Chains A and B, each alone.
Chain A
């Protein structure tokens, strides 16, 4: 049963898309923001995300519990993060190169172990219907919000608060901004970065589990369309602030829904172009907000990309 709501479908679809598509971006980008605030870049999150999707799905199927699947995804994500953090500690290791290696390694490993789980059906993560007040099915569909979305928003707020108001948060920022200063304060820079990367990995794992356990909600080798990589770019766009990461993810998710939404209301010409909307939008905003003469003040000083 569908009610024809005409062009209203477009903003509704964008809203729904923003909520549905943004969740993995929120988790991965907030995680990466923490890692980068500590002074490392983990490009391997794409691989972590795919492995999280696979392991989450597999464990959920085996135990028949989506929640245990989610925990497993976070756990494996953390292992990937710890691996990255540990290897980066060794002399002459470049975090970016290692990240690229891990990206391919994670995906490959997930495909290898994930083969038997393409067919079976695992339980899904629950969603909350916030659209009960309306009897328009499109509204209800758009407002079916997964618990992870709410958790993600809360996480972004909590992470921003933590960076300002806790010892851990300040320590992460010190390690990320000046290793010399950190050493003078007696902070073990490598340990801070190790655990920041581990936390980033765990969150990326959760982001992956969302893909396979909720939307699109199955495991296959094409599950990620580069969300892990894009989320890393979103962190720069969000100027390393977790709250901004959430906004950027929403914007990106909403723009991503533009193409399908236009298609559904019958725009047939050039809607492919709208599939590029999120990328064009991010690129445009990135260019508009940067400057060649002013320093990028928010960039952590220790990042190998800004150094």
Chain B
């Protein structure tokens, strides 16, 4: 990485230490962060733990100058600093990989890397830049295609590129906000292993937000735990057990136990026959030969992201027209119109719900009311019933423990996990005969994961047919009655969950069989 340092000589050459003192952040009259002090020594790998909405992202955004804390101080390498702006943080050598991607979708990876540099020349000499990039890439443990617009890369590749970008910029203190939520376990290990190598060598300090204890115990030196915006404890990972950390995170609360699987047998609710549709690039075809889901059954679809799961979801939700074949619900052809979905009680929870299942700038209450605003008790309603909306939203927010400043807040201001809960509250209310879910536990903390899985299992036990599309194999194994593996646009393998072998499933996921 020498050439990076040569280009930006004012950037520190060794890992930085960092300390926050009494950080407090208020949004209106809601306090997201109260008097938080943490200490991250140079060259350490520090993990920030906490439930959804505990204030983890808020804390690191204050450090990065994205928010101006209401009170509190920041010290970098023992010097008190004022970070008014993300650029000021960058000048200090601080860098961050955000929870959502911050790459520019229409720019190529090479363009994204070059424009992120502070010293981009007015005229970019691409021949020269390309050489420098190739030299940089050759020292990295993993590669990303440089000439494809980033919007076309898979989530895993984007995340690698985000990390590569920070290293390319020569950052010495790196904040990672749930970097592995979009990666497969192997990819995650590779990525974190690399960061670990850099911290051990004293080239980098890392502050990571994570929900995965496995990663904490495998890679981290120390943890700090936040609970409802306050510092709840911390210490060396070697001195703490997983149970200790979990206790600090959730306090006195009781963990939800997953409901027992009860024996059910029901009619076929969803049937997909010979359905064909082009994938998002338009060059490949997604082909689902024969897929049936019965009432009271969870069918899990495993697979590495980008193998057609997103398109399958869109086909079922009517967002991607079929070229051939058909989808039937309760033995009737199904086109996923609003009235059909209502008649057959079909509900969806797509991945990235903020983008795919919400109107981000509308309020929490309005978003929760989307299924019901135009109907009441089977009759169409012309006027919006604001009082019913508020009452309904208040009930569901309470029941699903959605943490929000108020019912009138924009849903986009909620933390990732709470958006998930709000959408799930909307989709699981009322009678549900068919539930199609994609990655329902992305980015959720463990207690929320337990709770949401329990709800899915409860729905199944009550006779709902569930199609669960997930990249998390553990989730598939825990919940499913039957497991299918999707690879390169079609279903490559099927097995009952009871006799499933992880090795076999893994082979089909990877496409070797």
Contacts and interface: CB of A to CB of B under 8 A. Distances in A.
Given A291-B282, A292-B321, A298-B106, A170 B90 contact: no
Interface string B48-70: 00000000000000000010000
A182 B87 CA distance: 11
A165 B104 contact: no
Contact of A185 (B100, B105, B115, B282): B115
A168 B87 CA distance: 18
Given A166-B122, A170-B111, A293-B278, A177 B85 contact: no
Interface in A152-205: 165-168, 170-171, 173-174, 177-178, 180-186
B280 interface: yes
B147 to A, nearest CB: 12
Nearest to A185: B116
7 contacts: A167-B123, A170-B115, A170-B120, A181-B103, A293-B282, A294-B281, A298-B106
Nearest to A175: B104
B362 interface: no
Interface in B91-106: 96, 98, 100-106
B278 A301 contact: no
Contact of A186 (B85, B111, B122): B85
B151 interface: yes
A182 B115 CA distance: 10
A165 B149 CA distance: 16
B103 to A, nearest CB: 6
Interface in B250-296: 277-278, 280-282
B320 interface: yes
B133 interface: no
B86 interface: yes
B85 A301 contact: no
B127 to A, nearest CB: 11
A245 to B, nearest CB: 17
B107 interface: yes
A148 to B, nearest CB: 26
Nearest to B106: A177
Q: Which 9 A-B pairs have the closest CB atoms?
A: A186-B87, A184-B102, A170-B115, A167-B120, A181-B102, A181-B104, A177-B104, A177-B106, A294-B282
Contacts of B107: 170, 173-174, 177
Nearest to A240: B106
Contacts of B510: none
A171 B111 CA distance: 10
B280 A171 contact: no
Contact of A297 (B102, B106, B114, B118): B106
Nearest to B101: A181
A168 B120 CA distance: 10
B120 to A, nearest CB: 4
B122 A301 contact: no
Contacts of A183: 66, 86
A300 B151 CA distance: 12
Contact of A167 (B96, B102, B115, B126): B115
Nearest to B314: A293
Nearest to B91: A186
A117 B197 CA distance: 75
A273 interface: no
A186 B321 contact: no
A182 to B, nearest CB: 8
A203 B10 CA distance: 40
Interface string A274-295: 0000000000000000011111
B71 interface: no
B121 interface: yes
Contacts of B104: 173-174, 177-178, 181-182
Interface of B: 66, 85-87, 90, 96, 98, 100-107, 111, 114-116, 118, 120-124, 126, 149, 151, 277-278, 280-282, 320-321
A297 B278 CA distance: 16
A173 B66 CA distance: 22
A186 B85 CA distance: 7
Nearest to A162: B123
A301 B105 contact: yes
B102 A178 contact: yes
Given A178-B104, A300-B106, A170 B114 contact: yes
Contacts of B281: 294
Interface in A4-62: none
Nearest to B103: A181
B212 to A, nearest CB: 24
A298 B86 CA distance: 28
Contacts of B111: 170, 173
A165 B105 CA distance: 18
A298 B152 CA distance: 12
Contact of B90 (A166, A173, A186): A186
A292 B278 CA distance: 12
A173 B106 contact: yes
A293 B102 contact: no
A297 B149 contact: yes
Nearest to B311: A293
Contacts of A293: 277-278, 282, 320-321
A178 B107 CA distance: 10
A165 B280 CA distance: 29
Contacts of B103: 178, 181
B126 A165 contact: yes
B320 A165 contact: no
A178 B112 CA distance: 12
B115 to A, nearest CB: 4
Contacts of A297: 106, 149, 151
Interface centre among B123, B278, B320, by most A CB within 10 Å? B123
Given A186-B85, A293-B278, A297-B151, A171 B106 contact: no
A294 B120 CA distance: 34
A164 B282 CA distance: 26
B150 to A, nearest CB: 10
B293 to A, nearest CB: 25
B31 to A, nearest CB: 24
B115 A171 contact: yes
B63 to A, nearest CB: 14
Nearest to B281: A294
Which residue of A170, A181, A183, A301 has the most chain B CB atoms within 10 A of its CB atom? A181
A295 B116 CA distance: 26
B280 A294 contact: yes
Interface in A120-179: 165-168, 170-171, 173-174, 177-178
B106 A165 contact: no
B151 A165 contact: no
